[in-house]
Amino acid sequence: MTTAGADDPVMDRLLDVAAACGPRFRLDVVAEVVADLLGTDQREGLAAVDRAVRAGLVVVAPGTGEAWFADERAHRAVEERITVSGRADLHRRIAAALGSDPDADHGEVARHLAAAVAATVDPEERARLQVRLASAALRGGDLATARAAARAGIAAARRTSATDLLAEAATTLWPVGEATWDGDLHQWCTEALAVPGLSQETRVRLLARRTQAAAYCGRWAEALAASADCVRRAEALGQVDLLVEALTARQLATSGPDDVEELGRLADRMIDLGESTGRAEVEMWGRLWRIDALWFGGDVAGVAAETSRLASCVGRVGGPYAEWHLLLARASLAAARAEYDAAERLAEEAVTHFEGIGHPAAHGAAVSMGLWLGHYRGPSDVLLEPEAWDFGPDVRWALFAVLARAFVLVDSGRVDEAAALYQRCGAPQQWEVPPMARLLVPALSARVAAAVGATDDVRWLRDRLEPYRGRYVVGGAGASSFFGPVELALGACASALGDWEAARADLGRASALCREIGAPGLRVEADCLLAEALDRSGDPAAASTLAAETVALARTLGMPPWVERLERLAGAGDPLSPREREIAGLVADGLSNREIAARLVISERTAENHVQHVLRKLGLANRAQVAAWVTRSRGR
């Protein structure tokens, strides 16, 4: 079977390109590459497809834009006639054509670039293809290939002293939260910045990427100073790409509770850039930053609205990274609303998604969400094991891993083990806490310190939290945990220190705030802690009343540990049985014994006996005093 006519060079090129594409090929891609090879119009390439179909060489799938060789022998024959250098050139051109599509399959782009690398002999050209391969593999979620290709590009740039290639290779990857990876980025950018004669554009790009890596490596002072300088330089140059890089660096350096206003401004700027240029990925980052700022302000409704806008961006961006961010945002929102089953499902989907591409952030997110959900539904056995808290050499997680595991042990009643872990952390005055965890670490640690009797530490941690009244405790950028208003943590500290007046004020305020923002699980926690403070401060009746009013919500939300604590309080200090309390409430509402009997479908004599029991247990003389007692109880 003949594969082409000697007098049809366009069809010859068409078949070469189709063979390099693989078993199936896209007609638009083949036509674009043929036009590029021959310097002709794409219509000529599509016309050649028609001739190939008539010749019985190619089969086109109607309505799909895809085709394939009619005979595999013809396919192999075309492949065999392509030279090694020709094959490298074809794969490079196919990758470029595929990559120009806004909805490009980056995994497919990477496949062709890898084939081009394998067939390329020239060292510098091979190195430049490696850099392109690293970028495509990273976007496609193949981290291992991306890392290997970037390292190969760096090594080649060093051997050939190609300074432009060194700068390009150094900025190909972005930080992922793995210490060796991020450390390599910082080193490569530092090395490239030392090269004399760099353009201002290249210098800003390298500064931005090094600053991003510095933040991931825990070099916060460097990241803060360098990011401000980077933004100034990018603003002066006025290039959108550079400004996006610089704003990203600044966001990483300013992601804590002290920077909420600036974070909001950065988000607005990024969203404006994305919308004005039509770049959905840029807008997506701005949406994520705005969500972070909203979490610090406890604006759950705002987070919900912004998450819907984020979903639109993610749909346009595509790919594993964008989908990961959306799933995690939805999981965090569900957990804050006490929709715990949905939160767990979304978090598991997000983690599975990232584990599939080997991303190191998957483990951290799984543990953080497990910590959060476990606090309200009961700790997971998995999080009680030391292995769950092994984050490798990532310095940002070292302190948190120990403190958070101690927090889980306290929640599980294993206080002695928690005390041993807590002591390993040293004095809190010496802790190095990342900006995004500036509220989470003291809020969780104060609970541990209180449980193990480290009251001096509780006092110091309380002082650290005090300036942040009005903020909310958020566990990192992306809010993979949300522990409510700072007043909740302050109230817990005050209770541990026996400062009952402050405890009642702060926990009462925390309960009201949680009600206002629509966080019912956190409201249960605040009311439970308040009831415990009332009980310990000498008002068991008020504690019992509040616990009895809260326990139904805890049951409805599915919060077993809190149900248990509330039931214990509801039964302690209350002289009345649940039935007698119900009778007392009806007396307070002005019902007669006959009316009470009718309401509860009991005999009038039984109703009268219940009323007498209430009077005797409360030491009261008449129904009016019962009404007054109930009114006081309801008001507490």
Quickly list DSSP for 187-253.
HHHHHHHTSTT--HHHHHHHHHHHHHHHHHTT-HHHHHHHHHHHHHHHHHHT-HHHHHHHHHHHHHH
145 and 165 Cβ atoms separated by less than 8 Å: no
A 10 A CB-CB count for 233 gives 18
Distances (CA, A) of 442 to 57, 150, 210, 439: 70, 39, 29, 6
Residue 296 in this model has a pLDDT that exceeds 80: yes
At residue 428's C-alpha, the angle toward residues 252 and 289, to 5°, is 20
Q: To the nearest whole number, what is the mean pLDDT of the chain?
A: 89
pLDDT for the residue numbered 1: 41
Question: Structure tokens of 114?
Answer: 């890898």
| pLDDT band with cut points at 50, 70 and 90 for residue 393 | low
- CA-to-CA distance for 487 and 507, rounded, in angstroms? 7
User: SS in 3 state form for 209-223?
Assistant: HHHHHHHHCCCHHHH
What pLDDT band is residue 124 in, cutting at 50, 70 and 90?
confident
pLDDT for res 330: 95
66-69 β-sheet, strand order: 24-26, 66-69, 58-61
CA 112, chain centre distance (Å): 32
* pLDDT higher than 80, residue 498: yes
**Amino acid at the residue 21:** C
Contacts of 210 by beta carbon, 8 Å cutoff, 6+ apart:
185, 186, 189, 190, 193, 226
Answer yes or no: are the C-beta atoms of 327 and 350 closer than 8 Å: yes
**Chain region(s) in the chain for CATH 1.25.40.10:** 361-571
How far CA 21 is from CA of 33, 91, 108, 318, 535, in Å, comes to 11, 8, 10, 23, 74
Cα separation of 438 and 426, whole Å? 17
Confidence tier at 327 by pLDDT (50, 70, 90): very high
Dump pLDDT digits (tens) for 588-624.
999 999 999 999 989 998 898 889 888 877 777 788 8
Name the least confident of 323-337, 361-375, 411-425.
361-375
Reported confidence tier of residue 100, pLDDT bands at 50, 70, 90: confident
pLDDT digits (tens, 9 = 90+) for 464-492: 999 999 999 987 666 668 999 999 999 99
DSSP state, residue 122: -
The values of phi and psi at residue 67, to 5°, are -150, 175
Token match 């006092």: residue? 459
Share of the chain above pLDDT 90, in %: 60
pLDDT at 392: 65
Considering only the C-alpha atoms of the chain, give the largest distance between any 2 of them, rounded to a whole number of Å. 116
Q: Which helix (H) or strand (E) holds 477?
A: none
Least reliable range by pLDDT among 279-283, 292-296, 335-339, 480-484:
480-484
**Bridge partners for 25 per DSSP:** 67
Confidence of residue 636 (pLDDT cuts 50, 70, 90): very low
Which tokens sit at 424? 């390993």
How large is the average pLDDT for residues 188-210?
94
Among the ranges 100-114, 266-280, 599-613, which has the highest mean pLDDT value? 266-280
CB 250 within 8 A of CB 261: no
Q: Per-residue confidence at 574, pLDDT binned at 50, 70, 90?
A: low
Helix (H, G, I), strand (E, B) or coil at 560: helix
* Residue range(s) occupied by CATH 1.10.10.10 in the chain: 578-635
Query: Binning pLDDT at 50, 70 and 90, where does residue 2 land?
Result: very low
The answer to whether 462 touches 453, Cβ cutoff 8 Å, is: no
Class of the CATH-defined domain 361-571: mainly alpha
**CATH entry 3.40.190.10 includes domain 578-635:** no
